[in-house]
Structure 1
Amino acid sequence: MGEASDAARSVVAQFRRDGFVAPESAERAEFEVWDRVTPGRVLLVALQILLRLREEDGRTDLGRPVPGLDEEEAGLLVRTLLGDAAAAPETSRRDLITLDRLLGLLASVIAEESLSEEAVDALLEAAEESCLAVGPWDERDDRRPQSGELVDLGGLLVPTEPGLKIELMPSRQDGSLVGVTLIRGRTAIQLQAFRALGDTSWASVREDLARTMRGRGGSAEERVGPAGTELQAVVRIQGPPGKDRQTARVLGHDGPGWILRGFVTGVGAEPDSTEEWSYATFQGTVVRPPSAPSATDPLIRLRWPESGI
């Protein structure tokens, strides 16, 4: 087993034995640390794998009680982990996605499925492999896939395909390129990369964004999507009454020393959308941090591609 999945196994074993999360297990899990593959991340993905397998068999109801959750809360958490956009806001409001509740749900499903220790080990190994195989990527990471065509924009290398429209976004202050918008059909995703200065993370950026959106008369709710925790939002835009709001999804990822943000609009941002293109584009993006970064400027600048757009 890998280091993260091995540690995750110890956390699961302790919880199944004692029925609670010991302090050393909580520390070992490093839950909510997303800039690398941690035991907590492996546990979350392992639970999602199990739930999706059960869903494919037509089984979404739980046959056992879950420690720390009543039946309605457990069902809400299951639907959220399966990507139900309607369940996610209430799950976030109740703060149901915690390490102890996820472990309780995982232990209940393992018991219901009568999984052997060997099967649990294989599940955790598969979850770790799944974590390692998903971007966005740092250019220096030799694990990143080498397949697929990318457009080199300097600070970002973004996936492209025939018919894709690419628009670079200049800064209002100095005209330097600070972002790129990719448009496919009726969906667009704007990508920007930032250096993670101080204790900045996607979690802190997400919290600030949600506060700003609500302060400007919009709405923002956290949900769990294919790229991790995201915001499902309605933002205020310039326009006549009735056309002054826009639905958006805001994706984010913590890399080694950087944060990538994706702002999805159009059809792919609607709450009931199952479109995968924006997520595939976000997770296929490669970040190239500057070799001589500014001490104060967090933006990772872009440039026009040598071959044009």
Structure 2
Amino acid sequence: MQFRRDGFVAPESVERAEFDVWDRMTPGLVLLVAYQILVKLREEDGRTDPGRPAPGSDEETAELMARAMLGDEAAASETSRRDLITLDRLLELLVSVIAEESLSEEAVDALLEAAEESCLVVGPWDERDDRRPQSGELIDLGGLLVPTEPGLKIELMSSREDGSLAGVTVIRGRTAIQLQAFRALGDTSWASVREDLARTMRRRGGSAEERVGPAGPELQAIVRIHGPPGKDRQTARVLGHDGPGWILRGFVTGVGAEPDSTEEWPYATFQGTVVRPPSTPSATDALIRLRWPESGV
């Protein structure tokens, strides 16, 4: 209502509505999903126009944002570099499409309810969250409960310092995803971790570009590894998610990490993972440790 009346959102409202917080059910995310649903419905009707900006707005910026929010990798990278996706601009596009469709208030309410419902079913999950699905087989590793199915290989990763279990790698065919969970200390978030990782990768001679994937903001990267010339770089995707007091990180390698890969199972594994925070966390160690499963791997 404020945006329709004034053409902007007050700063105090933006702070409550933006995207980079642990709870995926932010107003900003609901509006983003509502826009995506509306454009998908238009595409089903044979219309590919993602919506026009309001009069006087920058058409090039609006088109770039629209492409990014619909999954265009190059556009996502550019909007991230220029910091273009803001709540005001998202609202401008959404209101424009709603006006073009001449949606009634009842239809807009139904659209927002559908978007909110879509946001509710997305993981990764906190073990204490009673909204998480109870279906599907999970292997209990203590700090993580990881989806498993026939054909998947599970490998546990030990810490070099003390030999404790620091992470798990799930392998299927020529693709792997390594999962690690950390307690979010201070103002640490997936956004700050992502920024630090990208900076470190570039400093070490690799590359890292932010993009938007099925699990939200991620890094498409090339990282330096130990190996002979020509085999000392590895393509990777780095996924992340902010939970209540923790961060889950997924490091995808192999065929599924290539920029043109359409493999869905690494994302399904990541989003189906359940994090079990320690009942007595260490005062200094942010890593959420794992344990061997009772039934073996």
Superposition TM-score tier, normalisation by shorter sequence: over 0.9
Aligned-pair distance for 1:73?
2.4
Q: Which deviates further from its counterpart, 160-169 or 262-271? A: 262-271
Q: What's the counterpart of residue 6 of structure 1?
A: none
Residues 202-228 of structure 1 show CA distances to partners (whole Å, capped at 9, x for unaligned) of: 111111101101111111111111111
Aligned-pair distance for 1:57?
3.4
Structure 1 outlier segments of 4+, above 3 Å:
55-58, 66-69
Aligned-pair distance for 1:88?
1.8
Q: What's the counterpart of residue 55 of structure 1?
A: 43
**Match for 1:296 among 280, 284, 293?**
284
8 A contact 2:52–2:59 mirrored in 1:
no
Find out whether 1:83 has 2:71 as its counterpart.
Answer: yes
Q: What's the counterpart of residue 112 of structure 1?
A: 100
The residue correspondences of 1:86-165 to structure 2 (distance < 5 A) are 86-165=74-153
Counterparts of 2:144 and 2:284 in 1: how far apart (Å)? 20
Change (3 A) 1:240 1:68: farther
8 A contact 1:150–1:157 mirrored in 2:
yes
Residues 186-245 of structure 1 show CA distances to partners (whole Å, capped at 9, x for unaligned) of: 211000000011111111111110110111111111111111111111111122222221
Find out whether 1:244 has 2:244 as its counterpart.
Answer: no
Q: How many residues align?
A: 297
8 A contact 1:196–1:298 mirrored in 2:
yes
Q: What's the counterpart of residue 45 of structure 1?
A: 33
8 A contact 1:68–1:101 mirrored in 2:
no
8 A contact 1:92–1:221 mirrored in 2:
no
Q: What's the counterpart of residue 293 of structure 2?
A: 305
What are the ranges of 5 or more consecutive residues in structure 2 without an aligned counterpart?
none
Residues 276-295 of structure 1 show CA distances to partners (whole Å, capped at 9, x for unaligned) of: 11111100000001111101
Find out whether 1:194 has 2:182 as its counterpart.
Answer: yes
Which SS does the other structure have where 1:147 is aligned?
coil
Q: What's the counterpart of residue 267 of structure 1?
A: 255
Change (3 A) 1:30 1:80: closer
Change (3 A) 1:308 1:85: same
Aligned-pair distance for 1:100?
1.3
**Alpha-carbon RMSD:** 1.6
Change (3 A) 1:188 1:67: farther
Which SS does the other structure have where 1:173 is aligned?
coil
For residue 239 of structure 1, what is the amino acid of its counterpart? G
8 A contact 1:61–1:75 mirrored in 2:
no
What are the ranges of 5 or more consecutive residues in structure 1 without an aligned counterpart?
1-12
Counterparts of 1:51 and 1:95 in 2: how far apart (Å)? 22
Aligned-pair distance for 1:58?
3.7
- TM-score with structure 2 setting the length: 0.95
Change (3 A) 1:63 1:87: closer
Change (3 A) 1:62 1:299: closer
